């Protein structure tokens, strides 16, 4: 018997030693996530105990009640008493599980008296955050370079779990999320907060959290939302209140500066090369997911841009579809997502890249005039 | 009874059951709306105007009402509440408005879809007048003030102290436009006709399909 | 008891619409196309299901190959989504359900002492429309824009406004599958209700027949709802209705309610016949009567009824009111009670029996243990607060593969080994079948057990690429996947060898087996029980 034990320890010790391997649910950094973790561990334990008893009896029977050992079958095949016992005992165990589950659930659904409200909007395939009481809003997009996904460059530690602009939240404050979507159903999930809420187009859902520790917390979209469902991560930066206030102030200033810069860009005239360089950047970040890095699109799903009617046609139509989107398709309106400068650059790029050769140069002022 | 008649009888019953369940699948659509009203699923609010009967205002209690506007990226309008948050007494009749601007150079039709959170509060949020009951048509570069008159039912459960009302503004120009000449628009118009058939048949709340159908 | 008399007067035969009341089946391909014989149709269903199992399995291997390493290597994300979608659809509607229908066709008439199914010509139809349904579904993969890529659950508006052009083909094929299932279910019910041999009272029915009867009622109740919801998807996408489109006053969450109203009973459709199979095999190889027969019947019926009250546990994160979440949590937990009763009854059946471990028994024992593990993770998923962390992760994938692969599929394998001697007249190759069992058992656990861990650690399902911390476990899972896939080729080898020859099987090859099916010779003659047997 003893050498079996050694063998078991031998088999499992490497796994136990490799504790950095993620094998269990995260405990998270909120009171709720800790409660959920405890609930998970309790139920897991109960299941393991029941499993050990049931499987233990089965194995005992398999080892000792074999025909080869001369077992003679018993005749019993019915007992109402036993049936009632094994209906009642599981029922009582279940009641025991339901009690803590109910209290945790009630706490999770209580979104009242929040200190901060953030609107979270999913769209194919990015998240948008808007602070309800401040004039701050931004998109948060996967920042892992294409080369890493295509195995052309070594992958970073936070491969696929990094974004250009994380959501910033203060610690020790009750933060309420209003979750919704622009197109299909997404689901906003940060395991460390035990928050997972579907983003349903046309409807809002509420969730809340109160973070205990400063840090960077990562999550992913949890509802299949199309081609790049696996590529729309969530990153939350949690910081002490003073730092958070400073960040808010910094964001407001940056917004003012950006507005001034956008205004200034209207009077600038960039060269073709400058526009192409900037346009390529914008294209890869915003357009390549659907229209593909080489502009070929995916036949039957996303139209290609190589010598397409829009590319060959007047600049105005091209600007229209980029600025206002195309209803009933996945093509979004980029008027509010990109600056006039960026739209000018990306339209110039599309009209002159991958063998497109219209020679058209679009400036920020053209975009601004078109929008009027 | 011979076996084949027995069989036929049973087959008939079972087929009836299957057909009945097919119908039940569609019956779930209006049933769902009823359940939404009763249980507050998805925070659906009243789809037609209610009349306000003068009632006792519960001045001992203040409820925060927040207004949120959602404009999908594909909808090139500016749209937002005049005030983001207000404190109201239950029973009090409140008037507020949303502002909408059509930034494009074309006439467009929008439809706002309301949703209240928490969903269980939706049944206590009563609108006597709302722009969401109809679709909104805006000329190129035009703006409009969209009125909303509502009261919070004094029976609102104690534990709810904040109601968030969100409007998602959808572009339904394509479905509505019947004057366009292009092939695309013609096709869309055909779709619209069918749409109203269906909404009528299944009593969906699809008020956008026909002018004047109240939501 | 008299077994077979093929020369019964045709006019006395209740199913005498058919003209082939001679000794053997006609020859050639037309035998299979025109057949109304329950054994032929059962065989067709079983082969069809096995082919679909291999096709769906090949798609699973594409998925596992892509997930072997982080990064995109083999397929693009859009095709990956088509693979997960079609894999799910094929395994559910093409492999598991037809396999059970095949077993029902073969065994129910033999078990209740009926000469054939009650409606033989409808039986022929319900099989022969299936290949067309799957031909349509599979051919949509080759269309421009690809096949269905919205998950087998086809949530709107991903499947409506944002779906590929081939969605109409998907809808059409689901309609055909639904019609086939409903016809099959009607046939099973009419056969069981009207064609039992004299003396075969309700509480003498073998449990496989009981569980199938209940399954058939579930099918008739929910398949039409599925047909309804795909029709709504069709009209939303192509005819501008707004069932699920918020802009037109619809609601995308309503899709999920209607879908899961079908979907949850569907889960039990895929497991109740398994309970029946295991309840036949465990007593046979324990040489002891099934413990608690009547409680097994009642437990099956309560599971079926409860299955209509739990659908929204698939949708806890959609934003339900608290009262709804609590109701569905409690109901779901309640299902553990009758399921537990079943497992306890099987253990009690084995207790103090005289066990032997032939391959059908091995698969049944593996079923009991692994299905119970799947049941445990199901119970964990029922706990709403914890579900917020488990939902749509690999934990869920692990859960439903435990109940469907090491559950439903293992029970089908057990059934195949148990009844192969009756079908073919030969014993299967014992050594090869043991290899098949042990390879399957080990690889299925290497494949699905580690998925629990990646799921808990936070890996969402249905993603073609993942973060680096999930890499090691995914590699193990993929190796398990390929091992499991290859192991099933052993099964094919066993079956073909068994059809071609082998030790001749007796009428009752298993010492402890009970039931009318063992009273006809092996292989079962083309026509059996033309004169109803007397059941004492």
Q: Give C373's contacts in chain A (Cβ within 8 Å).
A: 51
Quick one: DSSP state of residue B66? E
> Which of the four pLDDT bands, split at 50, 70 and 90, describes residue C24?
low
Stretch B138-159: mean pLDDT, rounded?
Answer: 85
What does DSSP say about strands A233-239 and A215-221: parallel, antiparallel, or unpaired? antiparallel
Are A325 and B84 inside 8 Å of each other by CB?
no
Query: What residues pair up with C426 in beta bridges, in sequence order?
Result: C504
Question: Which pLDDT score is estimated for C523?
Answer: 92
Q: Would you call B32 an interface residue with chain C, using a CB distance cutoff of 8 Å?
A: yes
- The answer to whether the CB of C312 falls within 8 A of the CB of C328 is yes
> Which of the four pLDDT bands, split at 50, 70 and 90, describes residue B126?
confident
Query: What residues pair up with B152 in beta bridges, in sequence order?
Result: B125
Rounded Cα–Cα distance for residues A364 and A280 (Å): 16
- The answer to whether the CB of C206 falls within 8 A of the CB of C244 is no
Are C329 and A98 inside 8 Å of each other by CB?
yes
Q: Give B32's contacts in chain C (Cβ within 8 Å).
A: 251, 254, 257-258
Phi, psi of C277 (to 5 degrees): -60, -50
Q: Give C379's contacts in chain A (Cβ within 8 Å).
A: 43, 47, 97
Helix (H, G, I), strand (E, B) or coil at A90: helix
* Chain segment A70-83, per-residue pLDDT in tens: 888 888 888 889 99
Are B209 and C248 inside 8 Å of each other by CB?
yes
Question: Which pLDDT score is estimated for B42?
Answer: 66
Question: Which pLDDT score is estimated for C57?
Answer: 96
Are A47 and C70 inside 8 Å of each other by CB?
no
Q: Give C198's contacts in chain B (Cβ within 8 Å).
A: none
Question: Which pLDDT score is estimated for B40?
Answer: 66
Exposure class string for A234-273: b at 16+ Cβ within 10 A, else e: bbbbbbeeeebeebbeebeeeeeeeeeeeeebbeeebeee
Q: Can you spell out the DSSP letters for C215-234?
A: HHHHHHHHHHHHHHHHHHHH
pLDDT above 70 (res C15)? no
* Chain segment C180-219, per-residue pLDDT in tens: 999 999 999 999 999 999 999 999 999 999 999 999 999 9
Q: List the subunits that have 3+ CB pairs under 8 angstroms with C.
A: A, B
Residue C148, in any domain of the structure: yes
Rounded Cα–Cα distance for residues C469 and B134 (Å): 51
> Which of the four pLDDT bands, split at 50, 70 and 90, describes residue A4?
low
Residue C526, in any domain of the structure: no
Q: Which two tokens stand for residue C409?
A: 């599929």
Rounded Cα–Cα distance for residues C47 and C61 (Å): 21
Q: Chain B closest CA to A182's CA: distance in Å?
A: 5
Rounded Cα–Cα distance for residues A139 and A127 (Å): 6
Phi, psi of B97 (to 5 degrees): -150, 160
Question: Which pLDDT score is estimated for B180?
Answer: 39
* Chain segment C305-362, per-residue pLDDT in tens: 999 999 999 999 998 888 889 999 999 999 999 999 999 999 999 999 999 999 999 9
For residue C322, give the nearest of A91, A105, A227 by CB distance: A105
Question: Which pLDDT score is estimated for A254?
Answer: 87
Neighbours of B160 (CB within 10 A): 15
Rounded Cα–Cα distance for residues B191 and B213 (Å): 18
Q: Give C368's contacts in chain A (Cβ within 8 Å).
A: 58
> Which of the four pLDDT bands, split at 50, 70 and 90, describes residue B144?
confident
Stretch A159-171: mean pLDDT, rounded?
Answer: 94
Q: Which two tokens stand for residue C490?
A: 């052993």
Residue C4, in any domain of the structure: no
* Chain segment C484-503, per-residue pLDDT in tens: 999 999 999 999 999 998 89
Q: Which two tokens stand for residue C22?
A: 């001679």
Rounded Cα–Cα distance for residues C229 and C191 (Å): 29
Stretch A324-333: mean pLDDT, rounded?
Answer: 75
Q: Which two tokens stand for residue A32?
A: 């709720």
Rounded Cα–Cα distance for residues C136 and C348 (Å): 47
> Which of the four pLDDT bands, split at 50, 70 and 90, describes residue A102?
very high
Taking CA atoms, what residue in C is nearest to A58? C347
* Chain segment A212-252, per-residue pLDDT in tens: 999 999 999 999 999 999 999 999 999 999 999 999 999 98
Percentage of residues in chain B having pLDDT higher than 90: 8
**Higher-scoring residue by pLDDT: A200, C5:** A200
* Chain segment B27-68, per-residue pLDDT in tens: 988 888 888 777 766 667 777 777 777 777 878 888 888 888
- The answer to whether the CB of C467 falls within 8 A of the CB of A160 is yes
> Which of the four pLDDT bands, split at 50, 70 and 90, describes residue A372?
low
Are C224 and B6 inside 8 Å of each other by CB?
no
Rounded Cα–Cα distance for residues C533 and C349 (Å): 28
* Chain segment C139-151, per-residue pLDDT in tens: 999 988 889 999 9
Helix A241-265 crosses helix A340-352 at what angle (to 10 degrees)? Answer: 60
**Higher-scoring residue by pLDDT: C20, A50:** A50
Question: Which pLDDT score is estimated for B195?
Answer: 35
- Give the strands of the sheet with B108-117, arranged side by side: B85-88, B63-70, B162-171, B108-117, B136-138
Stretch B187-203: mean pLDDT, rounded?
Answer: 35
Question: Which pLDDT score is estimated for C10?
Answer: 38
* Chain segment C347-399, per-residue pLDDT in tens: 999 999 999 999 999 999 999 999 999 999 999 999 999 999 999 999 999 99
pLDDT above 70 (res B211)? no
> Which of the four pLDDT bands, split at 50, 70 and 90, describes residue A328?
low
Mutate to test the interface with A, among B65, B72, B156, B167 (most CBs of A within 10 A): B72
Rounded Cα–Cα distance for residues B46 and B34 (Å): 11
pLDDT above 50 (res B115)? yes
HSE-CB of B160 using CA atoms within 13 angstroms: 24
State in Å, rounded, how far the first CA of chain C is from the last one.
10
Rounded Cα–Cα distance for residues B117 and B42 (Å): 8
Q: Would you call A202 an interface residue with chain C, using a CB distance cutoff of 8 Å?
A: yes
Q: Residue window 226-285, chain A: list those with CB within 8 Å of chain C.
A: 226-231
Instruction: Measure Cα distances from C251 to A94, A365, C248, C290, C429 in Å.
Output: 34, 41, 9, 48, 56
Tally the residues of chain C: 536
Stretch C70-77: mean pLDDT, rounded?
Answer: 91
pLDDT above 90 (res B159)? no
Low-confidence winner among A8-12, A130-134, C492-496 (lowest mean pLDDT)? A8-12
Q: What average pLDDT is seen over chain A?
A: 86
Question: Which pLDDT score is estimated for C313?
Answer: 94
* Chain segment A171-180, per-residue pLDDT in tens: 999 999 999 9
Question: Which pLDDT score is estimated for B1?
Answer: 56
Q: Which domain holds residue C486?
A: 10-15+33-519
List of domains in chain A: 25-60+79-110 (no CATH), 116-261 (2.60.40.420), 268-371 (1.10.760.10)
Low-confidence winner among A267-271, A284-288, B198-202 (lowest mean pLDDT)? B198-202
Rounded Cα–Cα distance for residues A300 and B80 (Å): 37
Q: Choose which CATH entry (3.30.1490.190, 3.40.640.10, 2.60.370.10, 3.40.109.10) describes domain B44-171.
A: 2.60.370.10
Are A206 and B164 inside 8 Å of each other by CB?
yes
Q: Give C235's contacts in chain B (Cβ within 8 Å).
A: 198
- The answer to whether the CB of A133 falls within 8 A of the CB of A176 is no
Q: What average pLDDT is seen over chain C?
A: 91
- Give the strands of the sheet with A126-131, arranged side by side: A136-140, A126-131, A116-123, A175-181, A205-209
Q: Which two tokens stand for residue A264?
A: 């200034």
pLDDT above 70 (res C461)? yes
pLDDT above 70 (res C17)? no
Q: Chain A closest CA to C287's CA: distance in Å?
A: 6
pLDDT above 50 (res C16)? no
pLDDT above 80 (res A10)? no
Tally the residues of chain B: 215
Residue C254, in any domain of the structure: yes
Rounded Cα–Cα distance for residues B56 and B59 (Å): 9
Q: Give C227's contacts in chain B (Cβ within 8 Å).
A: 22, 25
Q: Is the dihedral of CA C248, C249, C251, C254 positive or negative?
A: negative
For residue A91, give the nearest of C70, C337, C383 by CB distance: C337
Quick one: DSSP state of residue C83? H
Percentage of residues in chain A having pLDDT higher than 70: 93
Helix (H, G, I), strand (E, B) or coil at A235: strand
Taking CA atoms, what residue in C is nearest to B7? C190
- Which of the residues of C are catalytic? 87, 116, 152, 180-181, 264, 266, 268, 279, 313-314, 339, 342, 461
Q: Cα angle vertex C49, ends C504, C28, to 5°?
A: 65
**Higher-scoring residue by pLDDT: A354, B197:** A354
What torsion do the CA atoms of C63, C68, C74, C77 make, to the nearest 10 degrees?
Answer: 60
Are A327 and B159 inside 8 Å of each other by CB?
no
pLDDT above 70 (res A18)? no
Rounded Cα–Cα distance for residues A24 and B203 (Å): 48
Question: Which pLDDT score is estimated for B208?
Answer: 35
Rounded Cα–Cα distance for residues C60 and C52 (Å): 12
Size of interface A-B (CB pairs under 8 A): 84
pLDDT above 60 (res B210)? no
pLDDT above 80 (res A265)? no
SS (H, E, C) B106-154: CCEEEEEEEEEECHHHHHHEEEEEEHHHCCEEECCCCEEEEEEEEEECC
Rounded Cα–Cα distance for residues A187 and A181 (Å): 9
What does DSSP say about strands A233-239 and A167-170: parallel, antiparallel, or unpaired? parallel
Instruction: Measure Cα distances from C53 to C169, C414, C451, C481 in Å.
Output: 21, 16, 21, 14
For residue B10, give the nearest of C193, C248, C323 by CB distance: C193
Helix C207-238 crosses helix C252-269 at what angle (to 10 degrees)? Answer: 160
Are C248 and B172 inside 8 Å of each other by CB?
yes
**Higher-scoring residue by pLDDT: B215, B24:** B24
Question: Which pLDDT score is estimated for C6?
Answer: 41
For residue A65, give the nearest of C157, C352, C468 by CB distance: C352
Stretch C235-260: mean pLDDT, rounded?
Answer: 89
Q: Would you call B74 an interface residue with chain A, using a CB distance cutoff of 8 Å?
A: yes
Mutate to test the interface with A, among B69, B74, B195 (most CBs of A within 10 A): B74
Closest by CA to B180, choosing from B190, B171, B167, B194, is B190
pLDDT above 80 (res A124)? yes
- CATH number for C246: 1.20.210.10
Question: Domain total for chain C?
Answer: 1
Rounded Cα–Cα distance for residues B214 and C486 (Å): 61
Are C254 and B32 inside 8 Å of each other by CB?
yes
Residue whose structure tokens are 């701050």 = A136
Taking CA atoms, what residue in C is nearest to B26? C228
> Which of the four pLDDT bands, split at 50, 70 and 90, describes residue C235?
very high
Q: Where are the domains of chain B?
A: 3-39, 44-171, 175-215
Are B25 and C229 inside 8 Å of each other by CB?
yes
Phi, psi of C375 (to 5 degrees): -65, -40
Q: Would you call B135 an interface residue with chain C, using a CB distance cutoff of 8 Å?
A: no
Q: Chain A closest CA to C90's CA: distance in Å?
A: 19
**Rg (chain C; Cα; Å):** 23
Are B29 and C323 inside 8 Å of each other by CB?
no
Q: List the subunits that have 3+ CB pairs under 8 angstroms with B.
A: A, C
Residue C530, in any domain of the structure: no
Helix C207-238 crosses helix C293-306 at what angle (to 10 degrees)? Answer: 10
């Amino acid at each position: 018997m003893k050498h079996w034990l050694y063998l078991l320890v031998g088999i499992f010790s490497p796994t136990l030693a490799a504790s950095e391997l993620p094998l269990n649910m995260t405990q998270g950094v909120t009171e709720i996530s800790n409660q959920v973790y405890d609930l998970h561990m309790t139920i897991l334990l109960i299941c393991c105990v029941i499993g050990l008893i049931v499987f233990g009896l089965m194995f005992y029977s398999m080892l000792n009640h074999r025909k080869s050992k001369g077992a003679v079958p018993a005749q019993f095949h019915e007992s109402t008493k036993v049936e009632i016992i094994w209906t009642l005992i599981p029922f009582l165990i279940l009641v025991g599980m339901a009690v803590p589950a109910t209290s945790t659930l009630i706490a999770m659904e209580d979104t009242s008296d929040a200190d901060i409200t953030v609107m979270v909007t999913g769209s194919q395939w990015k998240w948008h955050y808007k602070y309800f009481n401040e004039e701050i809003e931004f998109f948060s997009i996967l920042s892992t370079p294409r080369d890493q996904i295509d195995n052309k460059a070594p992958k970073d530690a936070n491969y696929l779990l990094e974004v250009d602009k994380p959501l910033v939240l203060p610690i020790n404050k009750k933060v309420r999320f209003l979750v919704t979507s622009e197109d299909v159903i997404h689901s906003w999930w940060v395991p460390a907060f035990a928050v997972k809420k579907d983003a349903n187009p046309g409807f809002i859902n509420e969730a809340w959290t109160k973070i205990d520790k400063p840090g960077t917390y990562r999550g992913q979209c949890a509802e299949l939302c199309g081609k790049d469902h696996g590529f729309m991560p969530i990153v939350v930066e949690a910081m002490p209140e003073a730092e958070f206030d400073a960040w808010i102030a910094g964001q407001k200033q940056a917004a003012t500066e950006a507005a001034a810069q956008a205004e200034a860009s209207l009077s600038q005239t960039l060269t073709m090369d400058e526009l192409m360089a900037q346009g390529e950047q914008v294209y890869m970040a915003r357009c390549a997911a659907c229209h593909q890095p080489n502009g070929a699109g995916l036949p039957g799903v996303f139209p290609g841009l190589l010598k397409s009617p829009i590319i060959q046609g007047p600049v105005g139509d091209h600007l229209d579809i980029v600025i206002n989107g195309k209803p009933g398709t996945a093509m979004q309106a980029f008027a509010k997502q990109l600056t006039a400068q960026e739209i000018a650059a990306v339209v110039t790029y599309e009209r002159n890249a991958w063998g497109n050769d219209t020679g058209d140069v679009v400036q920020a002022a053209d975009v601004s005039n078109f929008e009027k | 009874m011979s076996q084949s008649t027995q069989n036929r009888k049973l087959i008939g019953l079972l087929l009836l059951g299957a057909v009945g369940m097919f119908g039940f699948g569609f019956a779930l659509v209006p049933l769902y709306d009823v359940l939404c009203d009763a249980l507050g699923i998805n925070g659906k609010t009243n789809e037609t105007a209610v009349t306000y009967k003068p009632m006792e205002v519960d001045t001992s209690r203040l409820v925060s009402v927040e207004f949120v506007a959602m404009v999908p990226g594909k909808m090139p309008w500016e749209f937002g509440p005049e005030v983001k948050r207000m404190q109201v007494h239950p029973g009090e009749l409140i008037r507020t408005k949303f502002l909408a601007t059509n930034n494009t150079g074309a006439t467009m039709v929008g439809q706002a879809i309301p949703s209240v959170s928490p969903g269980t509060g939706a049944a206590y949020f009563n609108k006597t007048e709302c722009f969401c009951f109809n679709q909104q048509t805006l000329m190129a570069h035009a703006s409009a003030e969209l009125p909303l008159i509502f009261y919070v039912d004094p029976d609102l459960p104690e534990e709810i102290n904040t109601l968030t009302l969100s409007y998602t503004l959808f572009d339904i120009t394509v479905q509505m436009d019947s004057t366009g000449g292009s092939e695309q628009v013609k096709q869309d118009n055909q779709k619209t006709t069918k749409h109203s058939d269906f909404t009528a048949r299944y009593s969906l709340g699809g008020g956008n399909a026909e002018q004047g159908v109240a939501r | 008891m008299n077994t077979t008399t093929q020369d019964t007067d045709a006019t006395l035969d209740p199913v005498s619409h058919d003209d082939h009341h001679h000794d053997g089946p006609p020859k050639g391909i037309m035998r299979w196309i025109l057949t109304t014989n329950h054994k032929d149709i059962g065989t067709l269903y079983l082969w069809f299901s096995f082919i679909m199992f291999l096709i769906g399995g090949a798609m699973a291997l594409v998925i596992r190959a892509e997930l072997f390493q982080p990064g995109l290597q083999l397929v693009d994300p859009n095709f990956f989504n088509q693979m997960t979608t079609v894999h799910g659809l094929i395994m559910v509607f093409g492999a598991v359900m037809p396999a059970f229908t095949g077993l029902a066709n073969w065994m129910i008439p033999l078990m209740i002492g009926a000469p054939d199914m009650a409606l033989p010509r409808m039986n022929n139809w319900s099989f022969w429309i299936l290949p067309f349904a799957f031909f349509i579904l599979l051919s949509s993969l080759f269309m421009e824009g690809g096949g269905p890529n919205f998950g087998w659950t086809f949530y709107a508006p991903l499947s409506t406004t944002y779906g590929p052009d081939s969605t109409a083909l998907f809808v059409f094929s689901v309609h055909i599958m639904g019609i086939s299932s409903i016809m099959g279910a009607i046939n099973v019910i009419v056969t069981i209700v009207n064609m039992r041999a004299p003396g075969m009272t309700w509480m003498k029915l073998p449990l496989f027949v009981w569980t199938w009867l209940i399954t058939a009622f579930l099918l008739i109740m929910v398949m039409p709802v599925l047909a309804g919801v795909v029709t709504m998807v069709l009209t939303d996408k192509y005819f501008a209705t707004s069932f699920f489109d918020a802009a037109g006053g619809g609601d995308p969450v309503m899709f999920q309610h209607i879908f899961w109203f079908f979907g949850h009973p569907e889960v039990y459709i895929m497991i109740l016949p398994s309970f029946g199979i295991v309840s036949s095999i465990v007593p046979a190889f324990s040489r002891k009567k099934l413990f608690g027969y009547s409680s097994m019947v009642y437990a099956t019926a309560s599971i079926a009824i409860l299955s209509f009250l739990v659908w929204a546990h698939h949708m806890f994160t959609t934003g339900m009111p608290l009262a709804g979440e609590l109701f569905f949590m409690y109901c779901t937990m309640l299902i553990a009670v009758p399921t537990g009763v079943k497992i306890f009854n099987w253990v009690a059946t084995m207790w103090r029996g005289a066990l032997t471990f032939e391959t059908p028994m091995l698969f049944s024992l593996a079923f009991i243990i692994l299905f119970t593990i799947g049941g445990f993770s199901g119970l964990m998923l029922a706990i709403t607060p914890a579900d917020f962390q488990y939902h749509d992760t690999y934990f869920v994938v692990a859960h439903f593969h435990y109940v469907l692969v090491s559950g439903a599929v293992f029970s089908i394998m057990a059934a195949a080994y148990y009844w192969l001697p009756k079908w073919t007249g030969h014993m299967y190759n014992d050594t090869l079948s043991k290899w098949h069992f042990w390879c399957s058992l080990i690889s299925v656990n290497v494949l699905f057990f580690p998925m629990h861990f990646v799921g808990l650690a936070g890996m969402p399902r249905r993603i073609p690429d993942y973060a680096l911390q999930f890499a090691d476990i995914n590699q193990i899972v993929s190796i398990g996947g390929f091992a499991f896939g290859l192991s099933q080729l052993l099964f094919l080898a066993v079956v073909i060898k068994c059809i071609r020859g082998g030790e001749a099987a007796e009428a009752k090859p298993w010492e402890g087996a009970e039931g009318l099916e063992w009273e006809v010779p092996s292989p079962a003659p083309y026509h059996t029980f033309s004169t109803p047997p007397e059941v004492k």
